[in-house]
A and B are shown apart, each in its own frame.
Chain A
Amino acid sequence: MHGSGIQIWFFIGVLLLIYGVLILGYGIFEAVVGPLAPVELNYLHTPIWWGGLLTVAGLLYCIKFRPGRA
């Protein structure tokens, strides 16, 4: 969107960052204490890499589209 103010991409960045941190945190916790939920392919540690991916994407969007950036 043009003009001043917060862009939609910043909101999306914040959302992805929060979700990424929550899921990554859970993934690390699960890696330490062992599988907590009976899901398939547990050994792939999906929450770690998917949560990590969301965190990085969220962080990049938050920085690139932060309010006030020209």
Chain B
Amino acid sequence: MTHFGALASPALLAFSTVPIAHLTILDMIVIAVYFGMVIWIGFYLKGRSNTSEEFFMAGREMTAWIAGLSFVSANLGSLELMGWAGAAYQYGILATHWYWIGAIPAMIFLGLVMMPFYYVSKTHSVPGYLHLRFGEHARILAAISFATEMILMSGVNMFAMAVVMKVVLGWSLTFSILISAAAVAIYVTLGGLRSAIFNEVMQFVLIWGGALLVPILGLIQAGGWDGLKKQIIKNMGTDSYFHIWRDTGHFSANPMGVHWTGIVLGLGFVISFGYWTTDFLVVQRVLAAHNLRAARMAPIIASYFKMAVPFIVILPGLLGLVLLQNPDHSRMLLVGQDVVKSCTTDESASQMNTAECSAAMDSQSTLPADYKQKVLTGSQELHSYNDALPLMMVRYMGPGLLGLGITALIAGFMSGMAGNVSAFSTVWTYDIYKPLIKKNGSDSHYVSVGRWSIFIGVLVSIGAGYLVQHAHGIMDYVQALFSFFIAPLLAAILMGMFWKRATAPAGFLGLLIGIVSSVGMFVWVKMNPAGLATIALSPDAKPMAENLYRAWWAFCIAAIVIFLVSLVTKPKPVAELDGLCYSCTVLPKEEPVPFYKNVWLWALLAVCIFAALNIIFW
């Protein structure tokens, strides 16, 4: 999840120069087969994407399984995989919070409580729901901010993929950008959302098929879970790598510098609920379900897979702590990307700046003196935390299997891009073009606008990708964009759905002031890092804590504004809130199903497993 803050930073990754892996002909064939398959799917689906309902909503005919896998897959990009594997190497299983409390309660809430409103209102998008509930201004504000985010994120994804391919395989940036952009443009322009969903489901299978071997083989080599624990405790001198809650009683007691209140309120409530229940990129996948029951079941199914993802993401990071070795068989120590940057000779420099490198390594307390000396003399290469997953892949995967692992990473990036541009296309067509530019066009006209917007969106994304390449700092700001919008959006949607007194001016103002306050806090901390202690309520807080508390405060500010403004403005008549507000809507009765198909049963089981995991790894 991009706004969660532990992404691999492609801008810094670009400073590594020696490729991690070398592909064989067999690996190339595996990658080529994937590209052939996605193009085939695009051409096949072209004939089934002729109406706007087919093109933008995939005909609303996805089963719960397809919608659920697509829903969870839209958030399983390669930057996330690499970033969280690196975070696990640094922080241990604390990183699992972003997969469990940072996702599961929100997914279950979406399925049980919120999905009926989205589905019954027959909206095409989340801004579309805001239009029905709070009027045109709220819709336009949400639509423009979301469309901008999507196109920039698509560019970031494109550039990120190119950089990872350069680091891992040594491919040129331009080659990777052009080939991935062309493939995405072809298959999404032809098949619309259906094509994006098909590829997301395929990506999900590829990621498990390509990455599952790493933890399996790693555990065999480490002597199982007990063996891994023993070795990490021996190497690191602490067992805190295996606890997700025990050390969160104080900011300074855990390496992330977070407090459990921030995890529960900021991550578990605002960020998680904001992302999983109001971000149209993921909600669009569930809206494509073929009936209400499937739409409710999809996030519940997704929650089971989400709980399992740490097995292929967090575990490889932990295994890397004890298994990764240098060519001389000494233990490999990964470092931050900034240290790699300082100690690597990039294309523009003739030799490494040893003073800068030495200073950077000194800031890394985990590096022994002899290790630093080897780096300075050039006999030891440094890799960053974010290389943990690719390094583990190279360790165990020979020809063919490595191609499969690399294909999984490529698929992750490409489906991320496809998700961005398909969501952009829908919001652009329905929430910007239709209300502001041409209100009464024909259905085929809007499909045509949707296809062109994908094509143009990909072109703009390429431009954004190159912009990021030449101005590395922009990456941080683009990734922060998500956090500016989701907290106020969550406040607006929750209050709109569950408080019939909430008014249109209140919704718009709450959204606007929430966004402005979030941006304000971000800029304040950027200009004055001491502000972090105020926002996170502790001088021991680290940047991760700022993300969590900033989201919480932005949510509170937006909710208070909506509450106060609603009290002094005129609410909509109750009759106009049917299908939009909880207390004013009679939800359609679902047909009776056998107990094993009951949504509540599977949700309850998911809650039990979620609780058990938190207790086991307390």
- Hey, which bits of chain A sit against chain B, CB under 8 A? 1-3, 5-6, 8, 11-12, 14-16, 18-19, 22-23, 26-27, 30, 36-37, 39-42, 44, 46-47, 50-51, 54
Q: Please tell me if the beta carbons of A26 and B209 are within 8 angstroms of each other in the complex.
A: no
**What chain B residues lie within 8 Å of A14 (beta carbons)?**
37
Q: Please tell me if the beta carbons of B48 and A19 are within 8 angstroms of each other in the complex.
A: no
A3, A27, A39, A44: the one contacting B61 at CB < 8 Å is: A3
B388 CB to closest chain A CB, in angstroms?
Answer: 15
Give the number of residue pairs across the A-B interface with Cβ within 8 Å: 88
B205 sits at the interface (CB 8 A): yes
Q: Please tell me if the beta carbons of B400 and A22 are within 8 angstroms of each other in the complex.
A: yes
B26 sits at the interface (CB 8 A): yes
B205, B213, B396, B397: the one contacting A12 at CB < 8 Å is: B205
Q: Please tell me if the beta carbons of B202 and A12 are within 8 angstroms of each other in the complex.
A: yes
**What chain B residues lie within 8 Å of A3 (beta carbons)?**
59, 61
Q: Please tell me if the beta carbons of A8 and B202 are within 8 angstroms of each other in the complex.
A: yes
Q: Please tell me if the beta carbons of A19 and B398 are within 8 angstroms of each other in the complex.
A: no
Q: Please tell me if the beta carbons of B209 and A54 are within 8 angstroms of each other in the complex.
A: yes
Q: Please tell me if the beta carbons of B221 and A26 are within 8 angstroms of each other in the complex.
A: no
**What chain A residues lie within 8 Å of B63 (beta carbons)?**
1-2
B23 CB to closest chain A CB, in angstroms?
Answer: 11
Using a CB-CB cutoff of 8 Å, which residues 366-396 of chain B contact chain A? 394-396
B404 sits at the interface (CB 8 A): yes
**What chain A residues lie within 8 Å of B217 (beta carbons)?**
40-41, 44, 46
A26, A41, A44, A50: the one contacting B26 at CB < 8 Å is: A26
- Determine the distance from Cα of A17 to Cα of B149 in the docked complex, in whole angstroms: 38
B394's nearest neighbour on chain A, judged by CB, is A39
- Determine the distance from Cα of A54 to Cα of B30 in the docked complex, in whole angstroms: 13
B62 sits at the interface (CB 8 A): yes
Contacts A1-B63, A44-B220; is A11 near B198 (CB within 8 Å)?
A: yes
- Hey, which bits of chain B sit against chain A, CB under 8 A? 24, 26, 29-30, 33-34, 37, 40-41, 44, 48, 59, 61-63, 66, 194, 197-198, 201-202, 205-206, 209, 213, 217, 220-221, 290, 394-401, 404
- Determine the distance from Cα of A15 to Cα of B398 in the docked complex, in whole angstroms: 19
A7's nearest neighbour on chain B, judged by CB, is B66
A6, A30, A39: the one contacting B397 at CB < 8 Å is: A39
Which of A30, A39, A44, A54 is packed against the most chain B CB atoms within 10 Å? A39
A2 CB to closest chain B CB, in angstroms?
Answer: 5
B412 CB to closest chain A CB, in angstroms?
Answer: 15
The B interface, classified by DSSP as helix, strand, loop or mixed, is: helix
Q: Please tell me if the beta carbons of B398 and A8 are within 8 angstroms of each other in the complex.
A: no
A14's nearest neighbour on chain B, judged by CB, is B37
Q: Please tell me if the beta carbons of B396 and A19 are within 8 angstroms of each other in the complex.
A: no
Q: Please tell me if the beta carbons of B202 and A26 are within 8 angstroms of each other in the complex.
A: no
Q: Please tell me if the beta carbons of A46 and B198 are within 8 angstroms of each other in the complex.
A: no
Q: Please tell me if the beta carbons of B220 and A8 are within 8 angstroms of each other in the complex.
A: no
Q: Please tell me if the beta carbons of B395 and A40 are within 8 angstroms of each other in the complex.
A: yes
Which of B40, B394, B401 is packed against the most chain A CB atoms within 10 Å? B401
**What chain B residues lie within 8 Å of A54 (beta carbons)?**
209
Contacts A22-B29, A44-B220, A50-B213; is A39 near B398 (CB within 8 Å)?
A: yes
Contacts A1-B63, A8-B198; is A15 near B33 (CB within 8 Å)?
A: yes
- Determine the distance from Cα of A11 to Cα of B37 in the docked complex, in whole angstroms: 8
A53's nearest neighbour on chain B, judged by CB, is B209
**What chain B residues lie within 8 Å of A39 (beta carbons)?**
394-398
**What chain B residues lie within 8 Å of A44 (beta carbons)?**
217, 220
Q: Please tell me if the beta carbons of A15 and B44 are within 8 angstroms of each other in the complex.
A: no
**What chain B residues lie within 8 Å of A2 (beta carbons)?**
61, 63, 290
**What chain B residues lie within 8 Å of A12 (beta carbons)?**
201-202, 205
**What chain A residues lie within 8 Å of B24 (beta carbons)?**
37
Q: Please tell me if the beta carbons of B401 and A1 are within 8 angstroms of each other in the complex.
A: no
**What chain B residues lie within 8 Å of A16 (beta carbons)?**
205, 209
List 8 A-B pairs, Cβ < 8 Å.
A18-B33, A19-B33, A19-B400, A22-B29, A26-B26, A27-B400, A39-B396, A40-B396
- Determine the distance from Cα of A19 to Cα of B66 in the docked complex, in whole angstroms: 22
**What chain A residues lie within 8 Å of B197 (beta carbons)?**
8
- Determine the distance from Cα of A42 to Cα of B48 in the docked complex, in whole angstroms: 46
The 9 closest A-B pairs by CB, nearest first: A37-B398, A23-B400, A26-B400, A39-B398, A2-B61, A8-B198, A8-B201, A12-B205, A40-B395
A17 CB to closest chain B CB, in angstroms?
Answer: 11
Which of B24, B33, B205 is packed against the most chain A CB atoms within 10 Å? B205
- Determine the distance from Cα of A2 to Cα of B61 in the docked complex, in whole angstroms: 6
Q: Please tell me if the beta carbons of A51 and B290 are within 8 angstroms of each other in the complex.
A: no
